[in-house]
């Protein structure tokens, strides 16, 4: 019996947070204050925690977090979310609004996924929401930015998404 061996019940805590960095286009010179926030890892059929469980137990395939997407929605984030409220459908790596992971850093119980968006690949606009998606477009997490995230000409953006799994 596992209970007799560990003598302690453990739960899994799944969290996410992001950081937005703004650079002068073509450089690594930061030109705006960083935006940081936690997000909700959604929990509903076909999205987030439930979909992650399906993927790691073989009930679904493609367990790779691959994209982020930005939007202009303002509705509060809830477990039932499975898409952005108002997603941007232009820009991104294939001009479909999705931005691919460009780098993954392994830090023990967390991973930092880096999404780099050049001045040309991100439409100038003000964004209010962000979503993190699996490779087939299923939502993993959603958040509203704590302050409006604006993109102007001459700016590159980097979004670092930290995914943490630990015992609770």
Angle at 104 between CA 115 and CA 12, to 5 degrees: 105
List pLDDT tens digits, range 77-103.
999 999 999 998 888 888 888 899 999
Distance, in Å, from the CA atom of 53 to the CA atom of 20, rounded to the nearest integer, reads 28
Please tell me the pTM assigned to this model: 0.85
- What is the predicted pLDDT for the residue at 124? 94
Angle at 114 between CA 109 and CA 117, to 5 degrees: 165
- Residues linked to residue 103 through DSSP beta bridges, in sequence order: 114
Identify the band that residue 1 occupies on the pLDDT scale cut at 50, 70 and 90: very low
Please say whether the beta carbons of 157 and 151 come within 8 A. yes
C-alpha closest to that of 102 among 143, 67, 142: 67
Domain boundaries, the chain: 13-167
List pLDDT tens digits, range 7-20.
456 677 888 999 99
DSSP state of 21: E
- Residues linked to residue 125 through DSSP beta bridges, in sequence order: 151
């Amino acid at each position: 019996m596992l209970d007799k061996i560990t003598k302690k019940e453990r739960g899994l805590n799944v969290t996410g947070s992001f950081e937005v960095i703004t650079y002068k286009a073509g450089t690594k010179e930061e030109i705006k204050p960083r935006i940081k926030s936690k997000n909700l890892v959604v929990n509903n059929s076909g999205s987030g925690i439930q979909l992650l469980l399906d993927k790691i137990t073989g009930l679904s395939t493609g367990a790779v977090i691959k994209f982020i997407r930005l939007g202009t929605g303002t509705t509060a984030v809830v477990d039932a979310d499975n898409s952005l409220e108002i997603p941007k459908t232009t820009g991104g790596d294939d001009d479909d609004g999705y931005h691919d992971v460009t780098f993954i850093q392994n830090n023990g119980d967390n991973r930092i996924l880096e999404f780099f968006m050049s001045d040309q690949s991100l439409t100038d606009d003000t964004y209010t929401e962000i979503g993190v998606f699996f490779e087939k477009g299923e939502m993993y997490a959603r958040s509203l930015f704590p302050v409006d995230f604006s993109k102007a000409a001459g700016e590159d953006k980097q979004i670092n998404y930290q995914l943490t799994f630990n015992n609770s």
